[in-house]
Each structure stands twice: as C-alpha cells, then as structure tokens.
C-alpha cells in the first residue's frame, strides 16, 4: 500500500530536474509528508551535485525537521505524522552518517537516552532521539525499562555529554531521582548534563530530582541540549 502510494506521489515530480533551491524546498515538503524514498533520492541527488554532507544535513534535513518540530509543538502535526517525518529523515541521515564520519565534522555532542525502570512508553523518547540526531547529535538509545545499572553501564561505555531520561507514568517518574542520586553518590553527577522529560513531569519536578533541565517536548530537548553544551564548552 505505502509503496504504491509513495511511487504515485514520487512520479508527480522529477526531483533530478529541480534546481538546488527548489529541490531543497521539495525535501522540506517531503520530510513534512514523511516520504522517505523521496528524501533519500533527493539526498543522493544533492550529494551527486557536489553538496557536502554537512550542508545537506543542515539545509535540507535538519531545517525540514525544524519545521516539523514547530508544527508538532503547535498542535498542527500529530504523533503519527511526526514519526513518519522522523523516519524519512532517518533515511537521509543513513546516507550521510558514514560521510559525516569521514569529514570528521565535530558532532554536536553525544547523548545516552532511555526510559526509566518500570516504564515501557517509548514514542516520546524515540522522537527526542530522532530530533537530536537530526540536529547533529550522536544518540545512543538504550530503550525502555532501564534500571540504574543499565544507565551507569551506558554512561561508562559511551561517555556521553548528556544523559536523557524519559518517564510517562507518575509511578515511574520518581525513579529519575534514584538514577541521579546514584550519580551523585558515585561522584559522577558533574560529568554529565542530565535532561529529563515525559508528559507527567514539569520544571519543578526536574529541579526537585536534581536534573539540569526538564524538556517539555522534543524541540525543547534539542534547544536545551544545544544551549547547555555550548555553555559547558564556553566554561571549559
């Protein structure tokens, strides 16, 4: 079904015939509409025209997802559309990832993100991870139902700049404090920026558990991560 629909829509516009600026605009539209095949094709076309991977990522993919993020926040787009857009972006990113690694372009930073113990909700966490990837972060997603030991193992193994935790249940959100308290006990708290999010949380809760920031949504998570990493690098 989807393949046929995608093909039908893809036949409407010959992407290769568009000049660069129109192609980029078309990519923003295709991302918005979650058309993965078209986004992948256009990514390939831009690379074939000599665009560097950083330029393709920033001007075509990240900018497209920025628009999606704004409309999601404003209630114009809903979860299914955002997941499709994120999937389309991932298609483009998969092409760029090895090229970005080759150029040695410094990543924005590294993030370990996971849903806390007892909680299997992952849609919001996945969105945050994808939006962060789109913004140039390296994201290590450790999944759902994470006990403190799993967070510690991931931090030890990946040495990220940021630890992100998600919780959707009022019964599981207190577990964030268990993780942060353990980091404090082990003298590791200051090694990481800790961001928390999830529908039942708020700013007050974020402060109470000792996080650096509570993030209302995926767009705020990206903005907060960028701001706190920049502040940390300036301080260093």
Which parts of this chain interact with ligand B1M (CB under 6 A)? 79, 113, 118-125, 127-128, 164-166, 168-170, 195-200, 215, 217-218, 221
Closer residue to ligand B1M, CB minimum distance, 65 or 96: 65
Q: Which residue lies nearer to ligand B1M by CB, 10 or 210?
A: 210
Considering the complex, what minimum distance in angstroms separates the CB of residue 26 from ligand B1M? 26
Helices (H), the chain: 2-12, 20-32, 36-48, 53-55, 63-73, 79-103, 123-134, 148-158, 175-185, 203-209, 218-235
CB of 166 to ligand B1M, least distance (A): 3
- Residue 152 CB neighbour total at 10 angstroms: 17
| Least distance to ligand B1M, CB of residue 79, Å | 5
For ligand B1M, the closer of residues 96 and 135 by Cβ is: 135
Residue 38 or residue 119: which is nearer to ligand B1M going by CB?
A: 119
Q: What is the closest distance, in whole angstroms, from the C-beta atom of residue 27 to ligand B1M in the complex?
A: 23
Nearest to ligand B1M of 89, 127 (CB atom): 127
Residue 26's contacts (CB-CB under 8 Å, 6 or more residues apart) are 13, 15, 18, 38, 42
CB of 171 to ligand B1M, least distance (A): 6
Instruction: Specify whether the CB–CB gap between 107 and 151 falls below 8 A.
Output: no
138-141: strand order across its sheet? 138-141, 110-115, 162-166, 193-197, 213-215
């Amino acid at each position: 079904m989807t393949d046929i629909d995608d093909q039908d829509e893809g036949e409407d516009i010959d992407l290769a015939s568009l000049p660069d600026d129109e192609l980029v605009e078309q990519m923003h539209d295709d991302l918005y509409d979650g058309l993965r095949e078209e986004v992948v094709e256009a990514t390939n076309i831009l690379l074939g025209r000599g665009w560097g991977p950083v330029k393709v990522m920033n001007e075509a993919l990240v900018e497209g997802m920025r628009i999606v993020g704004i409309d999601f926040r404003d209630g114009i787009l809903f979860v299914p559309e955002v997941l499709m857009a994120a999937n389309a972006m991932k298609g483009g990113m998969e092409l760029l990832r090895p090229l970005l690694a080759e150029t040695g372009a410094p990543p924005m930073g590294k993030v370990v993100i996971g849903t806390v113990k007892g909680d299997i909700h992952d849609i919001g966490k996945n969105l945050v991870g994808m939006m962060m990837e789109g913004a140039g972060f390296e994201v290590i997603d450790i999944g759902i139902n994470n006990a403190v030991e799993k967070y510690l193992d991931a931090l030890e193994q990946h040495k990220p700049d940021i630890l992100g935790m998600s919780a959707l249940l009022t019964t599981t959100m207190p577990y964030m404090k268990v993780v942060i308290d353990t980091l404090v006990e082990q003298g590791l708290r200051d090694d990481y920026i800790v961001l928390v999010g999830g529908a039942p949380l708020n700013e007050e809760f974020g402060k109470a558990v000792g996080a650096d920031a509570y993030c209302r949504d995926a767009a705020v998570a990206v903005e907060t991560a960028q701001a706190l990493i920049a502040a940390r690098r300036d301080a260093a």
